[in-house]
Chains A and B, each alone.
Chain A
Amino acid sequence: GAVVSQHPSRVICKSGTSVKIECRSLDFQATTMFWYRQFPKKSLMLMATSNEGSKATYEQGVEKDKFLINHASLTLSTLTVTSAHPEDSSFYICSAINLAGEQYFGPGTRLTVT
């Protein structure tokens, strides 16, 4: 199946700093990527839809100025958590959709803010 990667897989940062997470579709082009977050023992919650070449669409309650999304190419979307706080600690997962509409998920990035 298609491969989606995320980098880094784990990151620890201090409160107030910003962290960038990359999501790449390795063997297909993805015009649409999604960003999810997942708290311990909870289900995935959609944060935003990332479209190549246009602004991301954010779900209700997700601050666009805090979670900056850039989908600069057909194989790369980035999520930047700005001015991170401990409550932003979570498991962040991206997914990418290929031309056939099939959705593949990345392995996730565990963010810990101290």
Chain B
Amino acid sequence: DAKTTQPPSMDCAEGRAANLPCNHSTISGNEYVYWYRQIHSQGPQYIIHGLKNNETNEMASLIITEDRKSSTLILPHATLRDTAVYYCIVRVGGGNAGNMLTFGGGTRLMVKP
């Protein structure tokens, strides 16, 4: 699986949009971009994933560049409860691939009042 690079930490003001970048310049054509987050002392929580098109769900939006070498996770209106470590992971297969996830260092997002 391709490696990802994320800033180790970011701050965001409550109510503002949080934009978390991820570089995955060696991504292969069949690799998806996944985002998970981990709130302190809890298991990781799935947020969103995509292949090449931008995706949006109730939690966030995922913007993938046209060359797929980077992506941005957007939390449109960050709340204090969004404070967590956010992991960007690239992995083969968006469906029944059954592959394990390889976690990098992630970005520690601190939402401040």
Contacts and interface: CB of A to CB of B under 8 A. Distances in A.
B44 A93 contact: yes
Interface in B15-44: 36, 38, 41-44
Contact of A101 (B87, B97, B102): B97
The secondary-structure label for the interface of chain A is strand
Contacts of B43: 4, 6, 93, 95, 105-108
A46 B44 CA distance: 13
B42 A108 contact: yes
Contacts of A6: 43
Nearest to A49: B100
A41 B63 CA distance: 28
B95 A100 contact: yes
- Interface size grouping (class) on chain B: 20 to 34
A112 B44 CA distance: 21
A1 B46 contact: yes
B98 A101 contact: yes
Contact of B46 (A31, A34, A36, A102): A102
A34 B38 CA distance: 17
Interface in A8-43: 31-32, 34, 36, 43
B42 to A, nearest CB: 6
Interface string B75-113: 000000000000100000111111011111110000000
Interface string B41-62: 1111110000000000000000
Interface residues of A, number: 27
A44 interface: yes
12 contacts: A32-B98, A34-B101, A43-B103, A43-B104, A43-B105, A45-B103, A95-B101, A101-B95, A101-B97, A105-B36, A105-B45, A107-B42
Given A4-B43, A93-B44, A106-B43, 13 more contacts: A6-B43, A31-B98, A32-B98, A43-B87, A45-B103, A95-B44, A97-B98, A99-B96, A101-B93, A103-B101, A104-B46, A105-B44, A108-B42
